[in-house]
Amino acid sequence: MPEAPSTSAVVWTRAPSSAVTGGPASVPPGTTLSIGWVGDMTFGTYGSSPPGGVGTVFDKIRPYLITELLLGNLETVVGNVPPSKCSPGDVGCFSMVAPPETAQALKDAGFGGVNLANNHTHDSGSTGLATTKQALDDVGIAYTGLPGQITYVTANGLTVALLGFAPYYGLANALDIPEAVRLVKEAEQHAHIVIVMMHLGAEGSDRSHVRPGLEFYLGENRGDPVAFSHAVIDAGADLVVGSGPHVPRGMQWYQGRLIAYSVGDFSGYNTFPVTGLWGQSAILNITLDADGSYVTGSVTPLLLSSPGFPHVDLDATVINTMNALSSADFAGNGAAMIQDDGHIEPPPS
């Protein structure tokens, strides 16, 4: 079994984006970057994490995580900090708090960057955000998604700008599309490739379709994924990848760039359901060239099994699901289709 490569080659800039000046360095012709994306990741609630350690979550899918830049949505606090979000006995509230070892487990699995813009980032308040950032800093995993944050990483000689957004104040707010556009335009000036990670859309097995307009969940404004994605691509984003609905959604080509609105949950130890659409997931693998153009891509189909661990689905259920959703939601408007072998058909010429 091959081992996931070390992400030590992924160098990232902790300085404010204003400290980054000049355009990206020239690279040899034909230089490309392979990018992996997984959806929402949690590893238990406060005081409850996998008994064999967080790393056991990845045991069945490690060979499929091998890529030059692996990214995911870290929907949990990391650290020995109690939750501050939920009241005692509140059965409808979830506080995602994972142990400090989580950062090293992510590093060992090959992750080079994570999105912190989501609705569980502040489950332990400012203290929890601080411990999460410190844990990621300690192992060298890049993070993005805080107000005004552009994170630059270097992978395979290419400068990549990572931006994360969610519909919340105190984070890079996806409800403020003009500000998101401003940040993407700034990032585009300094990076070969700009990747936007969005945590948008309503949740649940009845929310798998993408429709134009704002989405709401339990009365909360969860943003407009279509308007947001199209706006950031118009501003210079080369790839938009999504999380938040906790189920797969369709994919769309827009201006030759791919939008993956949701690939489902990647891990959820005793937190997310694993039945029906909830249990379908995927690893998205995309290769872009130095100007951000699509080279090739594929989907590795996954299923989640109780208590929320991913494994490869030989029946490729999620491919049929995502194709059906793409056809229903984007027919005649850039539906991105996945072939039987998992490869993603290139954008229409």
Please state which of the ranges 80-89, 107-116, 184-193, 201-210 shows the lowest mean pLDDT: 80-89
Structure tokens at 323: 């194709």
Task: Render pLDDT for 22-64 as a digit per residue (tens, 0 to 9).
Answer: 789 899 999 999 999 998 999 988 878 898 999 999 999 999 9
For 63, phi then psi, to 5°, come to -60, -20
Residues 97-122 have a mean pLDDT of 95
Structure tokens at 155: 């992978």
Task: Render pLDDT for 164-209 as a digit per residue (tens, 0 to 9).
Answer: 999 999 999 999 999 999 999 999 999 999 999 999 999 999 999 9
Domain residue spans in the chain?
34-330
Structure confidence at residue 4 as a pLDDT band (50, 70, 90): very low
Q: For strands 216-217 and 220-221, give the pairing.
A: antiparallel
Residues 88-111 have a mean pLDDT of 86
- Assigned CATH topology for domain 34-330: Purple Acid Phosphatase; chain A, domain 2 (3.60.21)
Residues 319-343 have a mean pLDDT of 97
pLDDT for 309 beyond 60: yes
Percent of the chain whose pLDDT exceeds 90: 84
Closest CA to 160 of 35, 61, 59, 54: 35
User: Could you identify the residue written with the tokens 């827009």?
Assistant: 254
pTM exceeds 0.75:
yes
Read out DSSP for 263-310?
B-EEEETTTS--SGGGGEEEEEEEEEETTS-EEEEEEEEEEEETTTEE
Q: What is the per-residue pLDDT for 88?
A: 64
Q: What is the per-residue pLDDT for 46?
A: 81
Q: Which residues contact 106 (CB under 8 A, 6 or more apart)?
A: 72, 74, 114, 139, 141
Q: What is the per-residue pLDDT for 44?
A: 85
Residue 336 and residue 345 in contact, taking contact as beta carbons nearer than 8 Å: yes
